[in-house]
Amino acid sequence: MTIRDVPVTEATDPQGDAAEGAPERSRYRAAELADEVGISIQLLRSYQSKGLVPPPRHEGRVAWYGPHHRERLLHIRHLKDRGFSLRMIAETLDEGAESPLTLVEEREVLRLTEVAERSGVPVEVLRALEASGLLRPHHLEDGDRYSDADVRFVRNVLTLLGVGLSLDDLMRIARKQLDTSDALGRDVMDAWSQLVGTRLRRPRRDGDEDRGPDAHQREHAERVAASIRALAAIVGQLVAYRVERAVLDAARAKIEAEGTEAERAALARTLGAPFDHP
């Protein structure tokens, strides 16, 4: 099986309309949730693929959404009514209401089978993505671990396939960038070690006499881990931002030079409203 063979199907409710008529809904199918908040199913899926809405819970082949999905969609609609673009909404949701700055997201830890279930892509295809270097889990002592970021990435790969790119095309385009990202990771950590790591590992002087060596070791370890995780998030955001802008600028120049008038107009509309179409 190849990734092109992955079926895209609409979930059906094995319980039929049994939940209808309840005074308060505790879960929704995609069509029910979309109707509840006044959007199309396509727009709901678009929000989900962009990471604005968390993935649903699956029972077999049935995807169930809950009240928190409804609240998130209503919040998105409220922000759009105030004139926010989807990019601005994404930044607002990432920052969160509780904290002025959230650099490191709390992510659910997943296994490969859970990534397959949530993305709708078979495990053997995910393993092929891993072998190609596109999908990259955390390799831990008790096995590989993934997160919702991997689920979103796999869905984005499916989106690319849906607009005409093959997996081989994607690999040919991305190979140099994948190699460059490995070198970037090593350079970032070398710089971190020289500029920050030594300072973070230095014991604090205040209250040292009241704390044992184990407490110091735990505190230093947590500071180091938090620093690295925050640095990875910031560098990842910076690189993603610059690469996206560089690709779009190069695309505009290429289409201006070689494209048709219709292509230039379509690209201009897309650049004028990034991520803001269903």
Q: What is the pLDDT of residues 98-126, one digit of tens each?
A: 333 333 444 568 899 999 998 888 999 89
Domain ranges of the chain: 26-95, 112-162, 174-205+214-272
Taking a C-beta distance cutoff of 8 angstroms, is the pair 188, 235 a contact?
A: yes
Q: State both tokens at 15.
A: 């319980």
69-101: b (≥16 Cβ within 10 Å) or e: bbebbeebeebeeeebebebbbeebeeeeeeee
**Bridge partner residues of 138 (DSSP):** 145
What was the pLDDT predicted at 257? 94
**Regarding the domain delimited by 26-95, which CATH topology (the fold level of the hierarchy) does it fall under?**
Multidrug-efflux Transporter Regulator; Chain: A; Domain 2 (1.10.1660)
Which percentage of the chain shows pLDDT scores above 70? 77
What was the pLDDT predicted at 227? 82
The pTM of this model reads 0.50
Q: Work out the average pLDDT over 187-201.
A: 82
Tens-digit pLDDT profile for residues 157-169: 888 888 888 878 8
pLDDT bracket for residue 277 (50, 70, 90): very low
pLDDT bracket for residue 199 (50, 70, 90): confident
Mention every residue, 6+ apart, whose C-beta is less than 8 A from residue 271.
Answer: 248, 252
Strand 138-140 versus strand 62-64 pairing type: unpaired
pLDDT bracket for residue 7 (50, 70, 90): very low
What was the pLDDT predicted at 253? 92
What was the pLDDT predicted at 250? 93
Q: Among the ranges 78-92, 175-189, 224-238, which has the highest mean pLDDT value?
A: 175-189
Mean pLDDT over the full length of the chain:
77
